[in-house]
């Protein structure tokens, strides 16, 4: 079997004392094709010494783990990327091959599971594992969800969107899970870390709690499914919602009747920024099957389709999908909406797409929707 190429990314800030040996050690492994050292605003010779040791160096001026991880994932030459810490002298790096060998099937992320006999992992036990189990039940069996050593298929996720702080490693994991890929672990041995003080854990806890609350807000594991006659309908009335959700990492599928039109190409190009989105012919909606881990769907339908009696739930409820709030997009009939969605964060994306499609600019930083059931009843009553 052909071995898939692999890049190793090492975020490093002021690591001149050890970075040379780290790079040498990694490059001695036969499963490493390149080492990328992310110089995260260092004030020493980290970058110079990394290059002398045989690594490629990338400069990231914004200090912070997430910024460094984003830069490294973007710079890597290969889709399979192993992210490791700069303190590799504490590990038996040969055991990292356990992660490499675990690739296959639908696996998108392999976490490096290590143990420290002197550390009872208070942050993992008291915050990360309970929070992950509550929000993402399918990940509750992981022993080390917060480990910063892992191997990921970056092509599955919008890695340019991960958070810029310490929670970046969790963000990568959650995005892979939401994309419908498997997250597993591989044993990489035992180490002994230096003890950390309470202040360090307090700062970690604040960052991680903020990330978990963000996950709850963005509903990352709830797929968005849009059914529409024209791409213009989606561009004007639902592109903002689709962009916000895809940017966060959720799966987004748009079914169009005019899937081959020029405006549909604009929609495809816009959503292509996020790997978890796609645009398909409307006819395929009848055989649609959810790909996310929890089979929850946010269903949007154009007003024209609901008025014409299109069965928007065909093939969805029959597959056991949960649709807590089916909605219909605002149409030219100007019905009264009962839902509003703030798209301010992606208004520039929507405005650019509307311009390219030859459509009027967005009139509001909000998109409005009405519950599908009430709209259909209203249509029948008339």
Per-residue pLDDT of the chain (382 residues; tens, 9 = 90+): 468 999 999 999 999 999 999 999 999 999 999 999 999 999 999 999 999 999 999 999 999 999 999 999 999 999 999 999 877 776 788 889 999 999 999 999 999 988 766 666 677 788 889 999 999 999 999 999 989 999 999 999 999 999 999 899 999 999 999 999 999 999 988 766 556 666 666 788 899 999 999 988 888 999 999 999 999 999 999 999 999 999 999 999 999 999 999 999 999 999 999 999 999 999 888 788 788 887 788 888 887 776 555 555 555 655 556 666 678 887 645 555 677 889 999 999 999 999 999 999 987 899 988 877 666 666 555 5
HSE (side-chain half, CA atoms, 13 Å) at 236? 19
Residue 57 lies in domain: 7-218
Q: At what angle do helices 239-248 and 347-356 cross, to 10 degrees?
A: 130
What's the number of domains the chain is made of?
Answer: 2
The answer to whether residue 317 is domain-embedded is yes
Residue 82: count of CB within 10 angstroms of its CB: 25
Residue 202: count of CB within 10 angstroms of its CB: 10
Report the distance separating Cα 377 and Cα 375, nearest Å.
5
Distance of CA 330 to the CA centre of its chain: 28
Residue 46: what are its φ and ψ, rounded to 5°? -55, -50
**Cα→Cα distances 124→83, 170, 215, Å:** 19, 11, 17
Do residues 83 and 47 both lie within one domain?
yes
Domain of 87: which CATH number? 3.90.550.10
Domain closes at, from 157, 183, 218: 218
Do residues 231 and 211 both lie within one domain?
no
Q: What DSSP string describes 110-127?
A: EEEEEE-TT---HHIIII
Domain closes at, from 166, 184, 218: 218
Surface-to-core class of residue 41, CB atoms within 10 Å of its CB (0-12 exposed, 13-18 middle, 19+ buried): middle
């Amino acid at each position: 079997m052909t071995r898939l190429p692999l890049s190793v990314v090492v975020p490093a800030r002021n690591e001149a004392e050890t970075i040379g040996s780290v790079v040498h050690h990694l490059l001695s492994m036969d499963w490493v094709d390149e080492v990328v050292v992310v110089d995260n605003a260092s004030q020493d010779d980290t970058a110079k010494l990394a290059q002398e040791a045989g690594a490629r160096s990338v400069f990231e001026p914004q200090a912070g783990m997430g910024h460094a991880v984003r830069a490294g994932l973007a710079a890597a030459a290969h889709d399979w990327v192993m992210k490791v810490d700069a303190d590799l002298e504490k590990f038996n790096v040969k055991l990292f091959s356990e992660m490499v060998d675990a690739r296959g099937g639908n696996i998108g992320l392999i976490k490096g599971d290590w143990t420290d006999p002197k550390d009872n992992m208070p942050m993992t036990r008291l915050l990360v594992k309970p929070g992950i189990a509550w929000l993402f039940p399918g990940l509750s069996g992981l022993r080390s969800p917060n480990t910063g050593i892992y191997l990921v298929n970056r092509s599955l996720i919008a890695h340019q969107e991960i958070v810029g702080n310490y929670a970046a490693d969790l963000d990568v994991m959650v995005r892979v899970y939401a994309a419908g890929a498997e997250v597993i672990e591989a044993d990489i041995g035992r180490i002994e870390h230096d003890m950390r003080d309470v202040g360090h854990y307090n700062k970690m806890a604040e960052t991680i709690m903020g990330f978990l609350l963000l996950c709850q807000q963005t509903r990352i594991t709830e797929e968005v499914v849009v059914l529409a006659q024209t791409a213009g309908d989606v561009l004007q009335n639902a592109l903002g919602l689709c962009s916000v959700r895809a940017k966060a990492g959720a799966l987004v599928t748009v079914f169009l009747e005019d899937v081959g039109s020029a405006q549909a190409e604009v929609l495809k190009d816009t959503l292509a920024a996020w790997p978890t989105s796609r645009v398909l012919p409307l006819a395929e909606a009848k055989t649609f099957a959810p790909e996310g881990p929890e089979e929850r769907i946010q269903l949007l339908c154009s007003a024209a389709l609901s008025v014409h009696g299109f069965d928007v739930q065909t093939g969805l409820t029959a597959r056991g999908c949960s649709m807590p709030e089916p909605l219909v997009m605002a149409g030219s009939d100007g019905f009264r909406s009962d839902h509003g969605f703030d798209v301010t964060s992606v208004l520039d994306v929507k405005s650019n797409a509307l311009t390219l499609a030859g459509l009027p600019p967005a009139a509001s930083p909000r998109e409005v929707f009405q519950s599908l059931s009430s709209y259909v009843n209203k249509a029948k009553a008339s």
